[in-house]
Amino acid sequence: MKTTSLQDFMMKIFLTSLLFAKTTLGEHRLTCPQTKEAAEGDDVIIRCGLDPPVDLSDYTLDVARLDLGSYGDVYSYRNGKDQQDDQMDRYRDRTTLIHEDLIRGIVTLKISSVTLSDSGPYKVYVPDLTASFIVNITVVSKDQANRTKRNDFSTSGPPVGEESESEHRDGENRKTARAVILPSLLLLGTLLVLVLMRGEIKSCIERLRGRKEQEPERAGNGCEMKNLNMEAAKGDEDLERAAGNGNVLL
């Protein structure tokens, strides 16, 4: 019994150490959009989710610009508070962390009124969980953003539910073509059927003609047989009368 208890105890320690090692080696990972694009003057929101989710309220959180060296702190969060001591001046009073999302393991950082100089790679990092992700932000000028929107609108075609004038003409032409083609196809099909059945129709007509020619002959044969029968009956009557008068020789 003691040996079994000792083995169970050692197994629990081993499993606990595995879980601890797995966590410290990066069990969790951040999932963020790889790129973000905005026009100057707009707000950019970096949103990353931790998988599996963990309450990040008590964790350290950093967001840094990788292209600006060791002094590229964009935002820092430690001990449940925002830290601005090491934050770059260009981002001071322009970053807002949504603390409510931390409970669900989500990092949501808003950068307000971005400028062209805000373009670059941003690293979101949770040191205690060794979880990180790099988001590339691109800020374009207002004119370029407007040109892009106009190009997207011109290449996307008319809105759903509307049709252009050319599409309307094409629709009318298709309706006219159907109105002409369908009757022509029906007439052509009827003529084709008549051509294919011409032999059978001719044969039926010839059979009908043959029957009409045979009917008078049959009628004539019937009259002749009737006359013969009448003459035979008359001859029998004459014989009976002659026999009654004693004029018949036996």
- Segment 64-118, tens digit of pLDDT: 999 987 778 999 999 999 998 889 999 999 999 999 999 999 999 999 999 999 9
Query: Higher confidence at residue 214 or residue 69?
Result: 69
| Span 25-35, pLDDT tens digits | 458 899 999 99
Confidence of residue 7 (pLDDT cuts 50, 70, 90): low
Confidence of residue 170 (pLDDT cuts 50, 70, 90): low
Axis crossing angle, helix 198-245 with helix 165-196, rounded to the nearest 10: 30
The beta strands (E) that lie in 20-152 are given as 29-31, 35-39, 44-51, 61-65, 73-78, 81-83, 95-97, 106-111, 120-126, 131-140
pTM: 0.51
Query: Higher confidence at residue 34 or residue 7?
Result: 34
CA proximity to 137, closest of 148, 116, 121, 125:
121
- What is the CATH code of the structural domain delimited by 26-140? 2.60.40.10
Return the structure tokens found at 76: 């820092």
Answer yes or no: are the C-beta atoms of 48 and 31 closer than 8 Å: yes
Domain ranges in the chain are 26-140
Q: Return d(Cα 33, Cα 137) in angstroms, integer.
A: 10
